[in-house]
Amino acid sequence: MPTEEIAYSADGAEMRGLLATPDGGGCGPAVLVAHEAPGLMDICQERTRRLADLGFIAFALDAYGHGRLLTVDEARPQLIAWVNDPTGLHARTAAALEVLTATPGVDPTRVAAIGHCFGAYAVLELARTGAELAAVVGFHPGLPVARPDGARRIKGKVLMCVGAQDPLLPAEQRAAFEAEMIAAGVDWRLNLYGQAQHSFTNPGADATGIPGLAYHAETDRRSWRAMLDLFAETIGVP
């Protein structure tokens, strides 16, 4: 499928995202893709191409600028800063959404956003700004609820896919997210997968040697199917 690096700017930074379109062009549903903490890695690019293979127009955003890849330790201070004040993150994700919706063939009423790990937090925060997203999907997310009133601006349906044995997502954080969604009247669901830890969609997770990160093939497949089920309800499956 055709792919193209797209340069765009936001929050004083120059970004380089990846646009993937179906063979023969696309028209209709589109998906914004947000990467894990290290940046726009190969695995995120592969997911973007996979969505295009299925007929979606997909755009993978670049949160850090210039396509930079960071170690988890290098990324951590920026991620903490964005949790404390997401203004800059909002600007960067909104700019990426504008790139996607301006792409020829995209129906702006049929746009979803997905993210893995940090990316799940990023797209959920974008939804909290009131962005026109029909669906938001997160895989092994962080779910901090610093500003619960923001959930009242969410317009689309929300799906979070969580490993039951994810040590990076405390039960109290999950409970706070559930309370936030309920109080805001969001159409939401949280899928809890047994035997799965953090990074269950990443085949390279085990090689990191970081405790609590592990690939889980069955949960990877099941959560992807759950995403497509939600897309069928909201933006349609090409």
Q: How many CA within 13 A on the CB side of residue 28?
A: 14
- The encoded tokens of residue 217 equal 């093939």
**Strand pairing of 135-139 and 28-34?**
unpaired
Residues 3, 87: contact at Cβ < 8 Å?
no
pLDDT at 206: 95
pLDDT at 25: 67
Examine the pLDDT at 147 and tell me if it is beyond 90: no
86-96 as b/e: b if 16+ CB within 10 A: bebbbbbbebb
Torsion of CA 220, 221, 227, 230, to 10 degrees: -140
pLDDT at 238: 87
Examine the pLDDT at 41 and tell me if it is beyond 90: yes
Intra-chain end-to-end CA distance of the chain, in Å: 15
CATH class of 3-234: alpha beta
Rounded to whole angstroms, the Cα distance separating 77 from 73 reads 8
Task: Read off the pLDDT of each residue in 69-82 and give the average, rounded to a whole number.
Answer: 95
- The encoded tokens of residue 122 equal 């990023």
Rounded to whole angstroms, the Cα distance separating 137 from 111 reads 12
Examine the pLDDT at 128 and tell me if it is beyond 70: yes
Domain boundaries, the chain: 3-234
Task: Read off the pLDDT of each residue in 27-44 and give the average, rounded to a whole number.
Answer: 95
The pLDDT tens digits of the residues spanning 188-229 come to: 999 999 999 999 999 999 999 999 999 999 999 999 999 999
% of the chain surpassing 70 pLDDT: 99
Sheet with 157-163: list strands edge to edge.
3-10, 13-20, 57-60, 28-34, 106-116, 135-139, 157-163, 188-193
Task: Read off the pLDDT of each residue in 173-198 and give the average, rounded to a whole number.
Answer: 97
The pLDDT tens digits of the residues spanning 151-164 come to: 999 999 999 999 99
Examine the pLDDT at 33 and tell me if it is beyond 90: yes
